[in-house]
Amino acid sequence: MTQGLADVDFSGKRAFVRVDFNVPLEDGVIGDDTRIAAALPTIQHILNAGGAVICASHLGRPGGEIVEELRMAPVAARLQELLGEEIAVKACPEVVGEIADAMASACKPGEVLLLENLRFEPGETKNDASLAEKLASYADVFVQDAFGTCHRSHASTVGVPARLQPAVAGLLVDKELKAFEKAMGNPAKPVLAIVGGAKVSDKMLLLENLIEKVNTILIGGGMAYTFLKALNQGVGKSLVEEDRVETAKRVWEKAKQNGVDILLPVDHLAAKSFEPNTDVKVVNGDVPEQRMGLDIGPVTREAYTAAIRNAGTVVWNGPMGVFEMDAFSHGTSAIALALAESNCVSIVGGGDSVAAIKRNGVQDRMTHISTGGGAFLELLEGKALPGITALQA
């Protein structure tokens, strides 16, 4: 059982809080502060309980080197704005070292210190013991609130909690775990999974695990054409992973054996080329040889939305087509809108699915939108997340 903030007395203590401040940053300007805002409840809880907060996050992929454009100072400035003037937020120019040592030691109850970009240190992604030891020395409590990094065995996610106890889940991570339990542990039935994206190979573990847990699976995106080919249907020039056709057959047979329905597209928006202003045609059944399927068609959209209306719980990961292009965004938008109008428990994860939800302005009508694409996917695949397991040690 993972402990949470309520299990710790933070009074007079420093908390090392692993946050996810990996925000879009260009020329020192933050494009979207959603991830910073998402960490505020945990930070404020600790401050209100009389503690000091030492935040640590990665930003981008600096590869273990200092990259000036990826410094955390703009993030600290935005965090200051969100928390308000009455709370002191300080930015540390290094992850570890003499300055970090001094600033961590001086961090008082009611104050927030944001360390420099964790991935400036090459030891972060290698779970380096000496780096983890030093980071652990800065605080009295470890709080994991970066769900999006919990599938990584890094120094800040696994190494620090191994050396710093108590180690507990923050409010954001706790919310993610409860949402997953609601969807997969004791769900309202029937349970429907919507799986999209380009490649079957990326979602194979996911599909095999879902077959054990759901009643119906809707498949869209490029991966649908590997399944359709496995069922001897014409797919034209559509994306097909030839080396996964036999695997798709096995998944199809396993689903049948488990009494799970897999729904595949019966019509398509098909084009002759992969570009925005291409000639688009609605095709029923087989895709003609000179065309490629780039989105689900209107009949499939209606079948999929009808399945959503009848579901008790829906988990969605992956788009139905090349939704970045307006001409092929209709299927993905139909799923987003159907979920918004449904009374089901709706759990959405994965960058493209979340982007589609926001693009259609229905993010407030979902039961839960996961903040961690990779971590969310690995949970659905049935894997243990190292960053969560570390809290249970």
SS3 letters across the chain: CCCEHHHCCCCCCEEEEECCCCCCEECCEECCCHHHHHHHHHHHHHHHCCCEEEEECCCCCCCCCCCHHHCCHHHHHHHHHHHCCCCCEEECCCCCCHHHHHHHHHCCCCCEEECCCHHHCCCCCCCCHHHHHHHHCCCCEEEECCHHHCCCCCHHHHHHHHHCCCEEECHHHHHHHHHHHHHHHCCCCCEEEEECCCCHHHHHHHHHHHCCCCCEEEECCCHHHHHHHHCCCCECCCCCCHHHHHHHHHHHHHHHHCCCEEECCCEEEEECCCCCCCCEEEEECCECCCCEEEEECHHHHHHHHHHHHCCCEEEEECCCCCCCCHHHCHHHHHHHHHHHHCCCEEEECCHHHHHHHHHCCCHHHCCEECCCHHHHHHHHCCCCCHHHHHHHC
Neighbour-count burial for 84-113, b at 16+ CB within 10 Å, e otherwise: eeebebebbebbbeeebeebbeebebebbb
Find the catalytic residue in 63, 64, 285, 351: 351
Find the catalytic residue in 199, 254, 359, 365: 199
Find the catalytic residue in 14, 18, 35, 175: 35
Dihedrals phi, psi of 321, to nearest 5 degrees: -165, -165
Find the catalytic residue in 110, 373, 374, 382: 374
Respond yes or no: is residue 374 known to be catalytic: yes
Respond yes or no: is residue 61 known to be catalytic: no
Respond yes or no: is residue 175 known to be catalytic: no
* 369 token code pair: 């939108």
Respond yes or no: is residue 35 known to be catalytic: yes
Q: Which residues are catalytic?
A: 35, 199, 351, 374
